[in-house]
Chain A
Amino acid sequence: MKPPPFDYFCPTTVSEALELLAAQPNPKILAGGQSLMAMLNLRYLLPDALVDINHIPELVGTSIASGTARIGAMTRQRVIERDEALRRVAPILSEALRFVGHRQTRNRGTIGGSLCHLDPAAELASVALLYDAEIEIVGRNEARRTIPIAKFIGGFMTPNIEAHEIVAAVSFPLWKPGHGYAFHEFARRHGDFCLASAACLLERNPDNTIARIAIAIGGLGPIPQRLAAAERLTIGTRGEPDVIERAVASCSELEAIGDFHGSASYRLSVAQSMLRRSLKLALARARASESAP
């Protein structure tokens, strides 16, 4: 299974990369390559040119400032997973990343690549949606625009980005220190694409009621989905067992797809099971954080 023929370019600046994307016929961006290379080897894709963006320094790096964690699109998943500063402010990222593929794939895979590939089970896409992350896109003449992740996610494996554009960075508006968080997923084997995942962030009021909550379900439908109904019904509660069950039940409002790996109804059951775990753990962690000095 050898790749088809293509031209190869290795720009070192964003503007160079953009020029190539504009000028080359049928180009494809080569980021971490963990999805793209497999597809090329299987000849599922036949680009005429590969634009390798692994040598553009400005696309790499993390900064935490003004309540936002900004991660360069070409930052490796393993780097994010082990970044101590990120772990302190956004611990769900490294928790979710433990489920992403295997160490070899995380060594090269990138956050930008994962978001642009947009597999329905992609953990990073789910977490980005959870955070209402902002996606910075660079286009022709280095024009920059920022769109919310919900708008970036177009449809099944289809990001809203033009052929001549590059994702430059992903920004995560941070939640309060001590926020509760949890990421759970169920896959057939360690590192496989999950059948469903549930991610949760929450903050509590001084009286322990839930002040703010975000829930994202991945793998169930064609794209990761926010569980708005569950978010609404848990606000103001203390996350009592019956509240959790109602939240879990509301998963049935989401779109679910069935395929060779799992039927829609089974995936829904998995999503519910994962959500139950994530809600309980996020609550426990929020509680724990609050009681810490």
Chain B
Amino acid sequence: MKTRTINVTVNGTAYTREAAVRTTLADFLRHSLGLTGTHVGCEHGVCGACTVLVDGVSTRSCLMLAVQAHNAKIETVEGLAAADGTLAPLQQAFRDNHGLQCGFCTPGMLMTLTELLAENADPSEQEVREAISGNLCRCTGYQSIVAAALQAAGTMRERGKSG
């Protein structure tokens, strides 16, 4: 069978699409669903630009077939901000700290850090660096991304306290 119909939920929206079985999840998101926020940088699972959350865990979408996402819940960069456009703390922190330059690695960074902060509300700098060690950036030298992650963690802890 060379194509399949799949049901997939992306950022809370359900989609039903036919996909060629050899289409990667990255290409499916970008071209079948038009969600071009997820980027393709290497197609061999090293650069991390294609990172999305699949059923809550960070995943290299270039190393997954779209058909494997059948019945899965996907979260991409397009789903991070609130419905009214308010940036998520991570996104705001990236903006405040110059955590992006060309922006190509950024969606992958954001999704990876979203997972980190969900499982670790108070990461150390080293833990942040290890978490993004599988996401390559050629522009920033990582320092501003780390600063952004730590700021976002702080913001989220504060919000958590205030309920």
Give the B-binding residues of A (Cβ under 8 A). Answer: 1-10, 30, 33-34, 37-38, 40-42, 50, 52, 54, 78, 101-105, 107-108, 189-191
Pick the interface stretch among B44-52, B83-91, B96-104, B154-162.
B44-52
Chain A residues whose CB sits within 8 angstroms of the CB of B64 once the complex forms: 33, 37, 108
Would A8 and B65 be within 8 Å (CB), given that A37-B45, A38-B44 are in contact? Answer: yes
**Are A5 and B22 within 8 A (Cβ)?**
yes
**Are B63 and A33 within 8 A (Cβ)?**
yes
Chain A residues whose CB sits within 8 angstroms of the CB of B70 once the complex forms: 10
Pick the interface stretch among B8-16, B74-82, B130-138, B141-149.
B130-138
Would A191 and B133 be within 8 Å (CB), given that A34-B45, A41-B62 are in contact? Answer: yes
Which of A10, A30, A78 has its CB near the most chain B CB atoms (within 10 A)?
A: A10
Contact partner of A41 (CB less than 8 A), chosen from B1, B44, B112, B130, is B44
Chain B residues whose CB sits within 8 angstroms of the CB of A3 once the complex forms: 22, 24
Tell me the minimal C-beta distance from B8 to chain A in angstroms: 14
**Are B67 and A102 within 8 A (Cβ)?**
no
**Are A190 and B67 within 8 A (Cβ)?**
no
Would A107 and B134 be within 8 Å (CB), given that A1-B44, A7-B21, A8-B1 are in contact? Answer: no
**B36-72 interface code vs A (CB 8 A; 1 in, 0 out):** 0000000111001001001001111011110110100
**Are A103 and B2 within 8 A (Cβ)?**
no
Chain A residues whose CB sits within 8 angstroms of the CB of B48 once the complex forms: 102, 104
Judge if B122 is at the interface, Cβ distance under 8 Å.
no
The A-contacting residues of B in range 11-39, CB under 8 angstroms, are 21-22, 24, 27
Contact partner of A190 (CB less than 8 A), chosen from B1, B21, B44, B130, is B130
Chain A residues whose CB sits within 8 angstroms of the CB of B133 once the complex forms: 102, 189-191
Chain A residues whose CB sits within 8 angstroms of the CB of B65 once the complex forms: 8, 30, 33, 37, 50, 52
**Are B58 and A2 within 8 A (Cβ)?**
no
Chain B residues whose CB sits within 8 angstroms of the CB of A34 once the complex forms: 45, 60, 63
Tell me the minimal C-beta distance from A4 to chain B in angstroms: 7
A–B complex contacts, Cβ < 8 Å, 11 sampled: A7-B1, A8-B1, A33-B65, A37-B65, A38-B45, A41-B44, A50-B21, A52-B65, A52-B67, A103-B116, A190-B133
**Are B68 and A54 within 8 A (Cβ)?**
yes
Shortest Cβ-Cβ A-B pairs, 8 listed: A102-B134, A8-B21, A37-B63, A107-B57, A38-B44, A190-B133, A1-B43, A3-B22
Tell me the minimal C-beta distance from B122 to chain A in angstroms: 18
Question: Which B residue sits closest to A101, measured CB to CB?
Answer: B134
Beyond known contacts A9-B1, A42-B44: 10 more, CB 8 A cutoff = A2-B24, A5-B2, A6-B21, A10-B68, A33-B68, A41-B43, A101-B134, A103-B115, A104-B48, A108-B57
**Are A103 and B43 within 8 A (Cβ)?**
no
**Are A4 and B68 within 8 A (Cβ)?**
no
Question: Which B residue sits closest to A2, measured CB to CB?
Answer: B22
**Are B59 and A107 within 8 A (Cβ)?**
yes
Assembled-state Cα–Cα distance A78/B27 (Å): 25
Judge if B95 is at the interface, Cβ distance under 8 Å.
no
Question: Which A residue sits closest to B129, measured CB to CB?
Answer: A190
Chain A residues whose CB sits within 8 angstroms of the CB of B24 once the complex forms: 2-3, 37, 41
